[in-house]
């Protein structure tokens, strides 16, 4: 019996692999047809709304967003819309979020972009979004670019957008999540997401305690450091988010949002994939910059940031994860419990419930 017992101890138990059934060709074909149908419906609705608006005498305008770049190129971000309110005269009063989704994007609109001493001619995509890189020669710091629809019979008033050129000598930059990181929104829950996006006005959104002060201190200690705000939100809410950040005295910086509607391979866009893609893009565009990544434990920020830290350890100076309160975690659909991710990376992880906790930790690490 002892021999049998010893023999049993050295035999490893069989490993069970998770069973994942590959979708059948019929299922894959059905999904492909559903995605194609969703895109056709989306295009048809947009085209109908655009033609109807044109019949009522409305013309395209450019809604500019903050861009960023290096001394040799800049990323131009904007949308071409048909709306009754030109961006050159923005409303001073706040309005409910659903109004951001009533504007009509213009497909394939030609736009003139003037930045520095150069002029470029670009074209909006099928959702009216302009997201292109153009060659320039600029010095580090803030600059302005001018955008204008230039199609035949559609020339719009010129609008100005700020653009931040990164200083090659900057020690690091900041990439910050928005929802439940700089403002409390409980975004992951579908009903609450719809409420926060379509019903609440910008003054009803709650800033996260201490985060604006933390970002202001980081900006004061490192004036050349860029601040980029990465969110799964749609570009439709960019004006609302921009006013919220400005009113609560967050450092200015580009918003990295996602487009609205279906994609060629999905009926609904993947917010997490959007964040992964944007981080990979920043690593490729600025291979020498180290990023301070700030998010929360209510969505997939830990997973997203840890994956980036494993793939690009040389581009991460630290990862800050805001710990949601119990009530916030309930509204957010729970909190991440995969704390093992900090052990799987070489990154310096910081966990705190608010900006004050982060400030103490970053001071101890010499970042403040």
Has residue 112 got a pLDDT over 90? yes
SS3 assignment, position 190: helix
Q: Which of the two residues, 220 and 22, has the higher pLDDT score?
A: 220
Domains: count for the chain: 2
Has residue 7 got a pLDDT over 50? no
Q: Please answer whether residues 207 and 322 qualify as being in contact, where contact means their C-beta atoms are separated by less than 8 angstroms.
A: no
Q: Please answer whether residues 66 and 164 qualify as being in contact, where contact means their C-beta atoms are separated by less than 8 angstroms.
A: yes
SS3 assignment, position 179: strand
Classify residue 252 by burial, with Cβ atoms within 10 Å: 0-12, 13-18, 19+: middle
In the DSSP assignment, the letter for residue 286 is: -
For residue 176, give Cα distances in angstroms to 52, 147, 291.
39, 27, 10
Q: Are residues 138 and 203 in the same domain?
A: no
Return all residues near 180 (Cβ < 8 A) that are at least 6 apart: 186, 187, 208, 296, 298, 299, 322, 324, 328, 332
- Whole-number pLDDT of residue 191: 53
Beta-sheet pairing, 255-258 with 227-234? parallel
Q: Tell me what the mean pLDDT of segment 307-322 comes to.
A: 95
Backbone φ and ψ for 130, nearest 5 degrees, come out as -110, 120
Inside any domain, residue 75: yes
Q: Are residues 196 and 96 in the same domain?
A: no
- Reported in sequence order, the residue ranges of the chain that DSSP labels E, i.e. its strands, are 60-64, 67-69, 73-82, 104-105, 110-115, 118-123, 129-135, 141-149, 159-165, 173-177, 183-184, 206-207, 227-234, 255-258, 291-296, 316-322, 349-352
- Whole-number pLDDT of residue 349: 94
Q: Taking the C-alpha atoms of 54, 55, 58 and 64 in order, what is their torsion angle to the nearest 10 degrees? A: -20
Question: Percent of the chain, pLDDT > 70?
Answer: 64
Indicate the residue among 136, 165, 194 that finishes a domain. 165
Inside any domain, residue 13: no
SS3 assignment, position 164: strand
Has residue 333 got a pLDDT over 80? no
Q: Please answer whether residues 167 and 140 qualify as being in contact, where contact means their C-beta atoms are separated by less than 8 angstroms.
A: yes
Inside any domain, residue 6: no
Q: Are residues 123 and 230 in the same domain?
A: no
Q: Are residues 327 and 264 in the same domain?
A: yes
Q: Which residue has the tokens 């109807």?
A: 52
Q: Are residues 195 and 160 in the same domain?
A: no
Q: Are residues 308 and 333 in the same domain?
A: yes
CATH number at residue 130: 2.60.40
Q: Please answer whether residues 96 and 198 qualify as being in contact, where contact means their C-beta atoms are separated by less than 8 angstroms.
A: yes
Q: Are residues 145 and 254 in the same domain?
A: no
Inside any domain, residue 136: yes
Give dist(CA 96, CA 175) in Å, integer: 27
Inside any domain, residue 49: no
User: What is the reported pTM?
Assistant: 0.79
SS3 assignment, position 2: helix
Q: Tell me what the mean pLDDT of segment 326-338 comes to.
A: 52
Inside any domain, residue 241: yes
Q: Are residues 130 and 199 in the same domain?
A: no
Taking only the tens place, the pLDDT of each residue in 156-186 is 889 999 999 999 888 889 999 998 899 887 5
Q: Tell me what the mean pLDDT of segment 129-157 comes to.
A: 90
Q: Are residues 215 and 358 in the same domain?
A: yes
Indicate the residue among 134, 165, 196 that finishes a domain. 165
Tokens in use for 329? Answer: 């975690």
Q: Which residues constitute the domain of residue 250?
A: 173-364
Q: Are residues 350 and 207 in the same domain?
A: yes
Tokens in use for 176? Answer: 């910050």
pLDDT band at 41 (very low <50, low <70, confident <90, very high): low
SS3 assignment, position 255: strand
Has residue 339 got a pLDDT over 60? no
Inside any domain, residue 4: no
Between 124-133, 228-237, 256-265, the lowest mean confidence (pLDDT) is in: 256-265
Indicate the residue among 118, 143, 165 that finishes a domain. 165
- Whole-number pLDDT of residue 236: 83
Inside any domain, residue 88: yes
Averaged pLDDT score across all residues of the chain = 78
- Whole-number pLDDT of residue 299: 67
Has residue 21 got a pLDDT over 70? no
Q: Are residues 287 and 315 in the same domain?
A: yes
Backbone φ and ψ for 47, nearest 5 degrees, come out as -65, -40
Q: Are residues 154 and 181 in the same domain?
A: no
């Amino acid at each position: 019996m002892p021999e049998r017992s010893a023999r049993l101890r050295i035999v490893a138990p069989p490993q069970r692999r998770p069973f994942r059934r590959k979708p059948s060709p019929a299922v894959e074909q059905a999904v492909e047809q559903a995605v194609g149908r969703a895109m056709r419906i989306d295009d048809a609705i947009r085209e109908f709304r655009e033609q109807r608006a044109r019949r009522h005498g409305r013309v395209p305008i450019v809604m500019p967003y903050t861009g960023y770049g290096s001394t040799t190129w800049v990323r131009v971000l904007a949308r071409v819309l048909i709306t009754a309110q030109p961006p050159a005269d923005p409303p001073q009063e706040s309005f409910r979020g659903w109004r951001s989704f009533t504007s009509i994007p213009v497909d394939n609109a030609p736009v003139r972009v003037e930045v520095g001493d150069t002029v470029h001619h670009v074209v909006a995509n099928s959702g009216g979004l302009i997201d292109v890189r153009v060659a320039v020669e600029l010095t580090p710091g803030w600059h302005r670019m001018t955008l204008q629809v230039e199609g035949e019979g559609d020339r719009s008033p010129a609008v100005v957008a700020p653009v931040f050129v990164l200083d090659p000598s900057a020690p690091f930059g900041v990439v910050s999540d928005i929802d439940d990181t700089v403002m409390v929104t409980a975004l992951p829950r579908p009903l609450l997401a719809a409420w926060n996006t379509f019903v609440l006005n910008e003054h009803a959104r709650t800033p996260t305690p201490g985060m604006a002060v933390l970002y202001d201190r980081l900006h004061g200690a490192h004036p050349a450091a860029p601040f980029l705000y990465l969110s799964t939100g749609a570009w439709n809410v960019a004006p609302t988010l921009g006013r919220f950040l400005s009113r609560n005295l967050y450092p200015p910086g580009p918003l990295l949002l996602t487009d609205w509607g279906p994609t060629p391979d999905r009926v609904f866009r993947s917010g997490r994939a959007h964040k992964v893609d944007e981080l990979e893009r920043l690593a490729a565009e600025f291979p020498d910059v180290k990023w301070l990544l700030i998010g929360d434990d209510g969505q997939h920020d830990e997973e997203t940031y840890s994956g980036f830290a494993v793939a690009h350890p040389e581009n991460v100076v630290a990862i800050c994860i805001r710990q949601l309160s119990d009530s916030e975690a309930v509204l957010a659909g729970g909190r991440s419990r995969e704390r093992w991710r900090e052990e799987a990376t070489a990154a310096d992880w910081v966990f705190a419930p608010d900006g004050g906790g982060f400030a103490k930790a970053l001071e101890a690490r010499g970042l403040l």
